[in-house]
Amino acid sequence: MTIQELIPLGPKTTMKIGGKARWFAELKTKEDVEDAWKFSREKNVPLLVLGGGANTVFADGTIEALVVKVISDNIAIKGNDVTAAAGCILATLLNRCAEANLDLSALTGIPGTLGGALMGNAGQGPQGVWLDSFVVSVTALVNGQWQTFAREECNFRYRESGFKTMPDVILWEARLSLPSRPTAEVKEAINLALKKRLEIQPYRFTAGSCFKAVDGTPAWKLIDKAGLRGFHVGGVQISDRHANFLINTGTGTFVDLLQLIAATREKVPQLQGIEMRLVGENGKVISA
Ligand SMILES: Cc1cc2nc3c(=O)[nH]c(=O)nc-3n(C[C@H](O)[C@H](O)[C@H](O)COP(=O)(O)OP(=O)(O)OC[C@H]3O[C@@H](n4cnc5c(N)ncnc54)[C@H](O)[C@@H]3O)c2cc1C
């Protein structure tokens, strides 16, 4: 494992906002994962894992942490069983499975890696299908120890997993069990779902949904009702197409983002929960 210093983080996220990591490393092997954990312990700095950065925005300055990215992306398919590394891009995994007559199309259009999807039990909204329905087990380094968790031990819920509350967890791989379906049908389902998404959602320079739903009411409805569609602070704007997606219009900063969140909450105080992971300069998650 090579530790690099002062590596820009903005380009590694979909919103393209953020400063630099004091330390940064890419993890390709299990030994790299162990070494990263040891390094963060020795330096006594937070260990932050980054997947595709589709749900993460970093502060503008230097993040005093070791930021790591699992880049192992192996996929092994045997019958209906798929073993995939946490660094796999979810879209690549979907397509590889489709080629093998396996259907993971329910997760179409969710940017990022398998690791990020496991952490947040990614899926298609409260009534839709979530990743956990396909999980058999997950292997991770937790506080320096390798562990394999059966699905029931992962404490998956809507957009949540038990991994979120574990100390220093680096997800390594997952075993999935997928239903059989002919390749052509799966590809058609993927294309259809992608087309639908692109009609209603922006997909660039955003970290996806910002606010959590309030008592079952989608956040976008409340934001829309308050007339905030298109409202902006500096270079961060509430999307014209989807009122719960915040967009970096080109010059957006973390401070702009926080101010826009605060301004939105002034008009809609119920919006307390945040879906995005906002990381402060001290390496601590401001809200998750
Ligand atoms: C346009 C757009 C649309 C979206 N639509 C959806 C949607 O429909 N449904 C949905 O659920 N989400 C959606 N999202 C949010 C995002 O795509 C998901 O949360 C995704 O699972 C994040 O994956 P990531 O790899 O980018 O995670 P990151 O943002 O990099 O990280 C997210 C969390 O996962 C953790 N993590 C990532 N990899 C690992 C690992 N190997 N080990 C330990 N922890 C890890 C990080 O520490 C962090 O806590 C959308 C985002 C965008 C930008």
Mean of the pLDDT values across residues 241-257?
A: 96
Average the pLDDT over each of 36-45, 159-168, 247-256, 279-288 and give the range with the smallest value: 279-288
Mean of the pLDDT values across residues 237-258?
A: 96
What the chain holds in terms of domains, given with CATH numbers, is 4-70 (3.30.43.10), 75-198 (3.30.465.10), 202-287 (3.90.78.10)
Residue 49 CB–ligand 1 contact under 6 Å: yes
Does pLDDT of 265 surpass 60?
yes
Identify the burial level of 13 via C-beta atoms within 10 angstroms of its C-beta, where 0-12 means exposed, 13-18 middle and 19 or more buried.
buried
The Å distance, Cα 118 to ligand 1 centre, comes to: 8
Question: What pLDDT does 101 receive?
Answer: 98
Query: Average pLDDT over the chain, rounded to whole?
Result: 96
Ligand 1: nearest atom to the Cα of 119: 34
Is residue 209 annotated as a catalytic residue, yes or no? yes
Does pLDDT of 23 surpass 80?
yes
151-194 confidence digits (pLDDT tens): 999 999 999 999 999 999 999 999 999 999 999 999 999 999 99
Contacts of 26 (CB under 8 A, 6+ apart): 1, 2, 32, 68, 69, 71
65-121 confidence digits (pLDDT tens): 999 999 999 999 999 999 999 999 999 999 999 999 999 999 999 999 999 999 999
d(CA 147, CA 136) in angstroms, rounded, equals 14
Distances (CA, A) of 126 to 63, 123, 148, 243: 33, 8, 27, 18
Q: Identify the sign of the CA torsion 255, 259, 260, 261.
A: positive
> Which pLDDT band, with edges at 50, 70 and 90, does 125 fall under?
confident
The one catalytic residue in 159, 161, 173, 239 is 159
> Which pLDDT band, with edges at 50, 70 and 90, does 216 fall under?
confident
Beta bridge partners of 51: none
Question: What pLDDT does 126 receive?
Answer: 79
Does pLDDT of 288 surpass 60?
no
Q: Which of 24, 55, 57, 142 to mutate to test ligand 1, by most ligand atoms within 8 A of the CB atom?
A: 55
Residue 14 CB–ligand 1 contact under 6 Å: yes
Q: Which of 14, 40, 119 to mutate to test ligand 1, by most ligand atoms within 8 A of the CB atom?
A: 119
The Å distance, Cα 207 to ligand 1 centre, comes to: 9
Residue 201 CB–ligand 1 contact under 6 Å: yes
End-to-end CA distance of the chain: 28
Q: What is the pTM of this model?
A: 0.97
Is residue 161 annotated as a catalytic residue, yes or no? no
Residue 18 CB–ligand 1 contact under 6 Å: no
